[in-house]
Structure 1
Amino acid sequence: MKRFYAIGFALLLAFDTLNLVCFKLAGTHALPVEMNLAWALRVFSYPWIYGAVVGYIGAFVTWMSLLKHAPIGPAFAASHMEVVSVMVLSYWVFNEPVTPTQIVGAIAIVAGIACLAVAEGDEGEHDVVPA
């Protein structure tokens, strides 16, 4: 089951990250924003918008599959790892600055997920199954 969680959360992270980065790329390529048909056609003329749709659908399907089996606390927390992955990719791909506050926030997110995972694992070890 741990392998299922690891693969599932890795897929969720990948799909969520794909979604957000592709939306950023689509938006950047479609500038300036105008509320007209020409702008909408410009948005849909770039492949990035379709990558965002694939990422969104993939994340939704993966999330629904994980919710069938994963404990909700760690699952909900782990579903927010894309904040960290998008921050790292934004720095690398878009040359966006990363502030010390963002780094502390990323560390807090990862630490919180780790604490929830450890706590959930400890609960599972102490469960008593009646004979």
Structure 2
Amino acid sequence: MRRFYLWGFALLMAFDTLAQVSFKIAGAHAFPPQASLDWLARLFGQPWIYGALAGYIGAFFTWMGLLKHAPIGPAFAASHLEVVSVLILSAWLFGERFGGLQIAGAIAIVAGIVCLALGERDEPAAS
């Protein structure tokens, strides 16, 4: 079951990260935003918008599969790991900079997930 969680949450993080990064790239190519059919055509003419949709659909089905088996506390926390992966990829792909607060936030997210997972593991099973 542990392998299921590891693969499941890695897949969830990958889908969520794909969606966020794809939206950023698609949005950058769709500027300036306008309320017009031309703008919608420009937006949906970007292949990255479909990467974002695929990421969200994949994340939805992965999340539904994980919820069948994973305890909700650690699962909900782990579902936010994409915040950390998007932060790292944004620095690498887009040259965005992050400072001490972002690093502290990423560490807090990971530490929270670890604490919830350890607490769940140590809790006696309900009968």
TM-score by length of 1: 0.94
1:32-47 pair list within 5 angstroms = 32-47=32-47
Distance in 1 (CA, whole Å) between partners of 2:118 and 2:96 is 33
Q: Which residue of 2 aligns with 1:90?
A: 90
Cα distance per residue 1:25-80 (max 9 Å; x no partner): 00001111111111100011111000000000000000000001000000000000
Q: Which residue of 2 aligns with 1:55?
A: 55
Q: CA deviation at 1:128?
A: 7.9
Q: CA deviation at 1:127?
A: 3.7
Give the unaligned 5+ runs of structure 2: none
Cα distance per residue 1:96-123 (max 9 Å; x no partner): 1101100000000000000111111111
Relative to 1, partners in 2 of residues 1:128 and 1:90: Cα closer, same or farther, differing over 3 Å? Answer: closer
Distance in 1 (CA, whole Å) between partners of 2:45 and 2:125 is 54
Give the unaligned 5+ runs of structure 1: none
- Total equivalences in the alignment: 127
Relative to 1, partners in 2 of residues 1:128 and 1:87: Cα closer, same or farther, differing over 3 Å? Answer: closer
1:122 aligns with 2:122: yes
Percent identical: 65
Q: Which residue of 2 aligns with 1:74?
A: 74
Distance in 1 (CA, whole Å) between partners of 2:95 and 2:74 is 31
> SS state of the match for residue 69, structure 1?
coil
> SS state of the match for residue 107, structure 1?
helix
